Amino acid sequence: MARDGASRGTLTPDLCVIGAGSGGLSVAAGAVQMGASVVLIEAGEMGGDCLNAGCVPSKALLAAAKHAHMMGAGAPFGVRPQPAEVDWSAVRAHVRGVIDAIAPHDSQERFEGLGVTVLRAFARFVDDRTVEAGGATVRPRRFVIATGSRPRVPPIPGLAETPHLTNETLFALAEKPAHLLILGGGPIGMEMAQAHRRLGCAVTVLEAGRALGREDPEAAAVALVALRAEGVAIRENAKVAAAAGGDGVTLTLEGGETVAGSHLLVAVGRAPALDGLGLDAANIAHDDRGVTVDAGLRSVSNRRVYAVGDVAGRGQFTHLAGHHAGLVIRSALFRLPVKARGDHIPRVTFTDPEIAAVGPSEAEARAAHGDRFSVARLDLAEVDRARAERATEGFAKLLIGPGGRVLGGTVVGRGAGELIGVVALAVSKGLKAGDLAGMVAPYPTYGEAAKRAAGAHFAPKLFGNPWVKRAVRLLARFG
């Protein structure tokens, strides 16, 4: 039951958390269980974008699409392919069921059971230490802004008047799109392109620059070859000049060419959700990236205020928001110094094959470290488990800096999102390539990839060094 706070008067908790997405919920749950009083304000759905319109439904849809794809992918294994019969309503029920199964963990009832006061209303700052929400006034010791982000809709002529989808509306489609046009070739666009293609839709992706342009170009190429082989039409350097509705959707490219489809998904990025919060009234500095914060995620202009997750301007990942939450709890409750770093935060594009990365790009690492930098690489074709599953497309690449320290890496291939975890740990803890090479990975698993990539760093020194061979021959003389 929604609570508007009208009868609560002025609340004076230790923390007021604005936004019940991943970051806000993590702050609220952690703080209240450590003895702090917490007011949590949320105008929309508990769980935020990740649960209701982002990570959870998109990965559930990808899982359904994978099963459909596997119906026709068994020939190399001696399994006769069969065309998949997709029941769109059942697919939607599966997605909804996954959301519903996770929702109790993020629910208002659970958080009230923990002792959090939950206000289901819009929050608005009225001065530098006060928020109003649905008739209640909240004057806490500290604020945490965790309002997340919203889909960005570019200022293309006619787009605002043309029916279009975003991730917030895509999963509610009652009927399967006949031909889905996707504006944007980033992670969201490419994931949804593959999912819908595997579920029987025609799909065209229009990207103004390079598809998957943030990723290692070699890794992106592996994924794009796979998507194109499945029938996803990917148009790079395709700049849309105008959009129009009518019988479906028509996009006009620069140069005059038109591309038509039945539905349009806009996936060109996200913007921090700060509208209507009244940040100026509270002297909270902000820009297009979000709240302007220091290294400890604290507002540079209002020291009562922290920001976490998408609105902190340091990346838009659920796991990053959770990491931010832990830092803010340490700072706000215990007054411990904290510093938000980003080099150890991994990211994954959940196409098939997946692309996962952590740390700087190869070009950034080379520019920073020059001749003290090297790349260690292993093709997945050299991993026996990949051979057994005929999933040899891809590679693991480690970026190794001075003293052999692991700076980052990229994995493209099956299960890359799982494989990147050990590389992220290495970056986080300052481990060296020798630490990864010395790890014992179970055989046969994909987990051997990172270990063997690290081993490749030492191979020239061990097997190509004439002094090593001389030492072995010398020692052999002594029996």
Strands (E), 61-195: 117-119, 123-127, 130-133, 136-138, 142-145, 149-151, 179-183
- 230 is an annotated ligand-binding site residue: no
Radius of gyration (C-alpha) of the chain in whole angstroms? 25
Q: What is the mean pLDDT of residues 221-225?
A: 98
Q: pLDDT band at residue 6, thresholds of 50, 70 and 90?
A: very low
Helix, coil or strand: residue 25? helix
- Answer yes or no: are the C-beta atoms of 326 and 144 closer than 8 Å: no
- Cα 330 to Cα 343: distance, rounded to the nearest angstrom: 20
Q: pLDDT band at residue 462, thresholds of 50, 70 and 90?
A: low
| pLDDT tens-place string over residues 68-102 | 999 999 999 999 999 999 999 999 999 999 999 99
pLDDT at 406 over 70: yes
- 59 is an annotated ligand-binding site residue: yes
This model's pTM is above 0.85: yes
Backbone angles phi, psi at 63, to 5 degrees: -65, -45
- 47 is an annotated ligand-binding site residue: no
- Answer yes or no: are the C-beta atoms of 25 and 31 closer than 8 Å: no
Q: Percent of the chain beyond pLDDT 90?
A: 93
- Cα 239 to Cα 81: distance, rounded to the nearest angstrom: 38
Axis-axis angle for helices 187-198, 217-229 (nearest 10): 20
Pick the CATH number of 10-46+107-151+271-334 from 3.40.50.1000, 3.50.50.60, 3.20.20.30, 3.40.50.20: 3.50.50.60
Q: pLDDT band at residue 473, thresholds of 50, 70 and 90?
A: confident
- Cα 396 to Cα 427: distance, rounded to the nearest angstrom: 15
pLDDT at 229 over 50: yes
Per-domain boundaries in the chain: 10-46+107-151+271-334, 167-268, 347-461
Q: What is the mean pLDDT of residues 163-182?
A: 97
Among 424, 383, 380, 379, smallest CA distance to 406 is for 424
Q: Do domains 167-268 and 347-461 have the same CATH topology?
A: no
* Conformation bin of residue 134: beta by default, left when phi > 0, alpha when psi is -120 to 50: left
To which H or E segment does residue 26 belong? Answer: helix 22-33
- 393 is an annotated ligand-binding site residue: no
Backbone angles phi, psi at 429, to 5 degrees: -100, 5
Q: Percent of the chain beyond pLDDT 70?
A: 97
pLDDT (0 to 100) of residue 204: 98
- 185 is an annotated ligand-binding site residue: yes
- Cα 178 to Cα 261: distance, rounded to the nearest angstrom: 8
pLDDT at 146 over 70: yes
From 16-20, 295-299, 367-371, the region with the lowest mean pLDDT: 367-371
Axis-axis angle for helices 318-334, 22-33 (nearest 10): 30
Q: What is the mean pLDDT of the chain?
A: 95
Q: What is the total residue count of the chain? A: 479
Q: What is the mean pLDDT of residues 352-379?
A: 95
Other beta carbons less than 10 A from residue 37's beta carbon: 17
Topology, domain 347-461: Enolase-like; domain 1 (3.30.390)
Dig out the tokens for 313 from the structure: 């301007």
- 186 is an annotated ligand-binding site residue: yes
- 189 is an annotated ligand-binding site residue: yes
| pLDDT tens-place string over residues 255-299 | 999 999 999 999 999 999 999 999 999 999 999 999 999 999 999
Other beta carbons less than 10 A from residue 121's beta carbon: 18
Q: pLDDT band at residue 437, thresholds of 50, 70 and 90?
A: very high
pLDDT at 1 over 80: no
pLDDT at 4 over 50: no
- 439 is an annotated ligand-binding site residue: no
Strand pairing class (233-235; 202-206): parallel
Q: pLDDT band at residue 467, thresholds of 50, 70 and 90?
A: confident
pLDDT at 365 over 50: yes
The widest CA-to-CA distance across the chain, in whole angstroms, is 91
Using the CB atoms, write b or e for 241-277: b if 16+ within 10 Å: eebbeeebbbbbbeeeeebebbbbbbbbebbbbbeeb
- Answer yes or no: are the C-beta atoms of 81 and 74 closer than 8 Å: yes
- Cα 375 to Cα 379: distance, rounded to the nearest angstrom: 13
Dig out the tokens for 130 from the structure: 């006060």
- 248 is an annotated ligand-binding site residue: no
Pick the CATH number of 167-268 from 3.40.50.300, 3.40.50.2300, 3.75.10.10, 3.50.50.60: 3.50.50.60
Contacts of 44 (CB under 8 A, 6+ apart): none
Q: What is the mean pLDDT of residues 176-202?
A: 98
- Cα 98 to Cα 170: distance, rounded to the nearest angstrom: 16
pLDDT (0 to 100) of residue 8: 59
pLDDT (0 to 100) of residue 50: 96
- Answer yes or no: are the C-beta atoms of 320 and 344 closer than 8 Å: no
